[in-house]
Amino acid sequence: MAGPVSPQTCKKKLYTISWERTLYNPFVRKLVNESCGAFTSLQIKAGTDGQISSSELIKSSHQYRCIMNACIEDLNQAADLANSVESNQALQEMSEIFYKAELVWNLCEILYLENPLGILPHLLEWIRIHFPNAVEETGTVLASPNPGLHESYWKALYGLVFQLRLESATKLLRIHPDFQSEAFQSAYELLKKMPVFSANSTVSAPEFTFRWNHWKEECESRTQAGDFFESKDLELLLEILCGKEEAFEKVGDHFETWYQRMITQLTFTQPTIGTLSLGDEAEQFFASLIGLDDLTSLDATLLAVLRRDTRKVIGEMQGVLDNSWFTAHLADLLYHAGALQSFEDINSLQLRETLLRDYSICLFSHQSLWSVGVLYLDHCPNVGSATLEHLLTRLPCQSEMKATKIISLAERRKLTSVVTSVCRVMGRRALANRRLGAAVAWAVKAQDAPLATYAADAVLKSYLQDSDFTSTDLLDSLGAGLLASDRLAFLGKYREFHRLYNSNDFHSAAGLLISLISSRIAPKYFWTVLLMDALPLLETNPPVFTSEQTYELMQSLQELTSSFQDDAEINPHPNCQLNSDKTMLITLALSRNLAKCFVQQTVCD
Amino acid sequence: MFQARTINAEHKDLIHDVAYDFYGRRLATCSSDQSVKVFDLDENDEWRLTADWKTHAGSVWKVNWAHPEFGQILATCSFDRTAAIWEEIVGESGNSAQSKNQSHWVKRTSLVDSRTNVTDIKFAPKHMGLLLAMCSADGGVRIYEAPDIMNLSQWSLQQEITLKMPVSCLSWNPSFSRLHPPMLAVGSDDTNVASGGKVFLFEYSESSHRWSKAETINTIVDPVHDIAFAPNLGRSYHILGIASKDVRIVILKPPQKDAYAAACPTSQLEILQAAQFDDHHSTVWRISWNITGTILASSGDDGCLRMWKANYLQNWKCIAVLKGDGSGVSPEDGTDRDKAVSAATARYFKLGAISNPNQVPWH
């Protein structure tokens, strides 16, 4: 439906749009959590100076790949158990994406982290891992009643040779019914004799090349001599061994992918090829086999990896994946390996940081994965702290538990503004929900004086209402926190007055009451309450208030009666209203107490 | 790639603004039907209407949430020449006829200083206190402050600035750093191209306690309908998104704070245009940033919502196009995405359909 939206729909509907991400899938959670563990342990190993051996890096890389493989397995299992076609399809698609990601990661590991000499054996290993079908095929052939005559016999044999599984290949050759023939014996011998280049062999590259050329000449001369004339299949095998282009044309459909075929062909033509020429070789190969017009993003990524064009690799993977899990972890690994190049416009540190931050932000959008995101920001030296500060305050803290978690994370990272902000918000919410004790506690933690004052006022008002304090435990445990605001300090002292009074310590209670009034710490609206609280103390005999203290009380009563109208609240609580009855009652009690004081003084004198 | 969910707002007239709260769990809408509605995400992550009340005696143009540190507070502005501050009261309904999910909003104050249509209202970043700015069609920009943050019924007019053209929108710079003075951007929808630049930048001076005009962006002479600073996560410069006849992204670089600059504090902002997109092929009405300031969403008369993202080089690209009904259209340029990293951030975006004020009599 194109064109502008009609005004009709504008009135009625809102659309909320959110990103859908693979990472939020419950089956991928393990990947998120475990890769975070691998990531942090890598950072610890690298330490502050960033020095880390390549074998440690390869170990980390293996770890990441294991995590990916486990995730692929989980997804496949889930797909099998899925109860609808759609969810099965979705899970399978996801699994396929991770399969491709692992494929690319493995190739990166080889090209960036392994010894760049002898690269081909590693690449061949990569093919062996990802394309086990030759071995599977051999299995089926061997399991059949007459393996030597099985229709897939030769396909299986070629498959083994393609991956240089020479031992299995020779075994398979032995079970052929014609094995005793001269042709088979000759081929068998050549296979056995084939020199194999490996990265950790003691043979130097030139020496290997010499042996290999010698062996190849022998293969060719035997073919020329007509050794294999009787068997077309053996002839083809020998052509393959000699790396003949035509031979690979013939068996082209044995390869599932271009890179499989390329690596096999290189194994039989340039076994000692170096990393530097690999990129051009791959591009030419791809262009002639498939054509650059049919480049899929996986092909483009693999070609970029073979060319060691890191920027292109990252760009391609970002385009393919809906999250930056892959790019963030890979970039970090390459950064530690010193393989993340700086470009004219961005240095390697910035690039790594940008990608880690992107991944972290993506985690923060999820209601529970955010705490994993925090750990990644810890390793972004330039933008991490500011980003974390911003994102942490944005987390909705629906529960006290979540608020406490955010606060402790922020405290550990010295993000005081986050702590204050979260406490304030929690305090406000507690206040709105009439949880006054909690409101006071949060306000104290936030060191927010206006909020603390407001909350303390609310507690006092609720005391007037119910003649009882709610959540006293919280108030009494605040201690020095009461100093957050004067009103709160008053509230604390007033509680103390009640305690003293209840424990019959009337002298201390009276002293405290006087100090509350005379220091003006008590809010004026509460004075009447304080004076009424003084009443029973005034009636005691012998008196607990001294004459000076009684004068103090008289003065405050005076002040109250003369000024009460000025800043009167609109609707004061009846207990706060000083009516004529109360005034009379207090005046009477005060004068009687004064009289008692005089009598006592006279007696003492 | 996207998930679209529909909320039936059921306003009786055009919806002019939709505002997410700080956490993205509450939504407020305002409409020409003079009412405001609030939707909340419930435990099952479903949007539920929790309040619906008449706010003004005219079309309500904008609705804006204060930072939750100040409580649950909304500001609205209207064609009726007033702006209002609303506070949510929990658990005081008492009315049994009301469902217990309903909340109650109380008007704490009306700001009546404007003599014309109030076009925009925004709370300042929380580090400045409980401050808000509103602007009106007669060119007035007013800044109010609540001196006691616990008392929302008292707002004092801190400053009044008058521009020579109607003002349509404003945005506070969210940056908080000693290196940046507080900044306010104001846009005008004056249709007279000859009257010059339509975006004005004001800076606050700590010493004089006054806002004063720092800069006019002269490259934008077409009417401006919306303006928004990007959230700043540790950047040294500011990014300003502008909705005009096209989408513009402007970078504001404060002068380098070296010994020389300190000696002459009046050194100017450097203004660079980072992007200009006419993909909407029509007027752009609203823009909105995600919370990390990495993605800008814009809506225009083509009925589409477009999202823009930059790489680390400030190289901006379209990363998504959505139709007004929330269905996706793939970006025209899907192959060359290595620079525009498609890893997005915020969960929610304002949508095209909700901001189509072109059918509304603005003047």
The separation between the first and the last C-alpha atoms of chain B, rounded to the nearest angstrom, is: 40
Chain A positions in Cβ-Cβ contact with residue B70 (cut-off 8 Å): 428
The answer to whether the Cβ–Cβ distance between B291 and A390 falls below 8 Å is yes
Report CA torsion sign: A284, A314, B339, B348. positive
Of A341 and A301, the one with more pLDDT? A301
Give, as one character, the DSSP assignment of residue A194.
-
CA neighbours closer than 13 Å in the CB half-sphere of residue B149: 24
- Together in a domain, A234 and A173: yes
- Could you give the strand order of the β-sheet that contains B183-187, starting from the edge strand earlier in sequence? B169-172, B183-187, B199-205, B210-217
Answer whether residue A315 shows pLDDT above 90.
no
What is the chain A residue with the closest CA to B328? A17
What is the chain A residue with the closest CA to B13? A11
What is the chain A residue with the closest CA to B299? A4
- Together in a domain, A268 and A132: yes
Chain B positions in Cβ-Cβ contact with residue A350 (cut-off 8 Å): 312
- Together in a domain, A155 and A247: yes
Instruction: Examine residue A204 and state whether it is found in any structural domain, yes or no.
Output: yes
| C-alpha closest to that of A241 among A190, A181, A201, A178 | A190
Give Cα B130 distance to the centre of its chain.
Answer: 17
The answer to whether the Cβ–Cβ distance between B3 and A386 falls below 8 Å is no
Count up the domains in chain A and report the number: 3
CB pairs under 8 A between A and B: 187
Give, as one character, the DSSP assignment of residue A366.
S
**Structural domain span for residue A516:** 504-605
Q: Are B255 and B269 in contact (CB under 8 A)?
A: yes
Give, as one character, the DSSP assignment of residue A94.
H
Report CA torsion sign: A320, A326, A330, A331. positive
The answer to whether the Cβ–Cβ distance between B234 and A387 falls below 8 Å is yes
pLDDT (mean) for A257-277: 85
Confidence of residue A588 (pLDDT cuts 50, 70, 90): confident
- Separation between Cα atoms, residue A539 and residue A535, nearest integer Å: 7
- CB count, 10 Å around CB of A572? 14
What ranges make up the beta strands (E) of A219-377? none
Q: Are B335 and B279 in contact (CB under 8 A)?
A: no
Instruction: Examine residue A498 and state whether it is found in any structural domain, yes or no.
Output: no
- Report the residue of A9, A13, A23 to disrupt the B interface, i.e. the one with the largest count of B CBs within 10 Å: A13
- Separation between Cα atoms, residue A89 and residue A92, nearest integer Å: 5
pLDDT (mean) for A593-602: 79
Answer whether residue A207 shows pLDDT above 80.
yes
Domain boundary among A394, A410, A436: A394
The answer to whether the Cβ–Cβ distance between A396 and B25 falls below 8 Å is yes
- Together in a domain, A108 and A190: no
The answer to whether the Cβ–Cβ distance between A394 and B148 falls below 8 Å is no
In tens, the pLDDT along A82-116 reads 888 888 888 888 888 899 999 999 999 888 888 66
The answer to whether the Cβ–Cβ distance between A346 and B6 falls below 8 Å is no
Chain B positions in Cβ-Cβ contact with residue A4 (cut-off 8 Å): 301-303, 324, 356
The answer to whether the Cβ–Cβ distance between A312 and B338 falls below 8 Å is yes
Domain boundary among A348, A373, A394: A394
- CB count, 10 Å around CB of A192? 12
Rounded average pLDDT per 10-residue block, chain B, 363 residues:
78 89 90 92 87 92 94 94 92 50 88 92 93 93 92 92 93 83 92 90 90 90 94 87 94 71 60 90 90 88 87 79 68 30 29 30 25
What is the chain A residue with the closest CA to B359? A7
Give, as one character, the DSSP assignment of residue A111.
I
Confidence of residue A419 (pLDDT cuts 50, 70, 90): very high
Domain ranges of chain B: 10-92+101-162, 176-181+200-363
- Separation between Cα atoms, residue B293 and residue B313, nearest integer Å: 15
What was the pLDDT predicted at B133? 95
Instruction: Examine residue A405 and state whether it is found in any structural domain, yes or no.
Output: no
pLDDT (mean) for A338-350: 74
- Together in a domain, A269 and A174: yes
Q: What share of chain A is helix, strand, coil (3-state, %, to 5)?
A: 75, 0, 25
Closest CA of chain B from A169, distance in Å: 44
In tens, the pLDDT along A545-574 reads 887 888 888 888 888 777 655 555 556 677
What was the pLDDT predicted at A530? 85
- Together in a domain, A110 and A88: yes
Closest CA of chain A from B163, distance in Å: 32
C-alpha separations of A496 from A464, A479, A500, A518 in Å:
17, 12, 6, 17
Looking at chain A from residue 284 to 343, which residues have their Cβ under 8 Å from any Cβ of chain B? 311-312, 314-316, 318-319, 322-324
What was the pLDDT predicted at A568? 52
Chain A positions in Cβ-Cβ contact with residue B150 (cut-off 8 Å): 450-451, 453-454
Give, as one character, the DSSP assignment of residue B230.
P
The answer to whether the Cβ–Cβ distance between B341 and A358 falls below 8 Å is yes
- CB count, 10 Å around CB of B175? 24
pLDDT (mean) for A334-356: 80
A381 touches chain B (CB under 8 A): no
What was the pLDDT predicted at B328? 62
Residue type, B71: G
What was the pLDDT predicted at B94? 46
- Together in a domain, A151 and A261: yes
Chain B positions in Cβ-Cβ contact with residue A428 (cut-off 8 Å): 68-72
- Separation between Cα atoms, residue A48 and residue B86, nearest integer Å: 51
Peptide bond just before A195 cis, omega within 30 deg? no
- Together in a domain, A316 and A219: no
Which tokens is A252 given?
């082209």
What was the pLDDT predicted at A229? 79
- Together in a domain, A231 and A147: yes
Rg (CA), chain A: 42
Q: What is the ipTM of this complex?
A: 0.82
Chain B positions in Cβ-Cβ contact with residue A381 (cut-off 8 Å): none
Residue B119: φ, ψ to 5°: -95, -25
pLDDT (mean) for A325-348: 82
Residue in B150, B325, B353 nearest the CB of A450: B150
Can you tell me which residue has the tokens 């009034």?
Answer: A517
The answer to whether the Cβ–Cβ distance between B338 and A316 falls below 8 Å is yes
Domain boundary among A394, A420, A444: A394
- Separation between Cα atoms, residue A371 and residue A367, nearest integer Å: 9
- Separation between Cα atoms, residue A82 and residue A100, nearest integer Å: 22
Closest CA of chain B from A39, distance in Å: 20
Q: Are B246 and B284 in contact (CB under 8 A)?
A: yes
Looking at chain A from residue 17 to 76, which residues have their Cβ under 8 Å from any Cβ of chain B? 17-20
- Together in a domain, A77 and A107: yes
- Separation between Cα atoms, residue B114 and residue B83, nearest integer Å: 9
C-alpha separations of A413 from A378, A399, A407, A458 in Å:
9, 22, 10, 34
Which tokens is B190 given?
């004056």
Inter-axis angle of helices A153-162 and A232-241, nearest 10: 10
Instruction: Examine residue A462 and state whether it is found in any structural domain, yes or no.
Output: no
- Together in a domain, A130 and A112: no
With b for 16 or more beta-carbon neighbours within 10 A and e for fewer, the B125-157 pattern comes to bbeeebbbbbbbbbbbbbbbbbeebbebeebee
- Separation between Cα atoms, residue A337 and residue A342, nearest integer Å: 13
- Together in a domain, A153 and A256: yes
Looking at chain A from residue 409 to 448, which residues have their Cβ under 8 Å from any Cβ of chain B? 421, 424-425, 428-429, 431-434
Least confident of A61-75, A96-110, A314-328, B27-41: A314-328
Residue in A15, A319, A324 nearest the CB of B6: A15
Chain A positions in Cβ-Cβ contact with residue B72 (cut-off 8 Å): 428, 432
A200 touches chain B (CB under 8 A): no
CATH superfamily placement of domain B10-92+101-162: YVTN repeat-like/Quinoprotein amine dehydrogenase (2.130.10.10)
Answer whether residue A225 shows pLDDT above 60.
yes
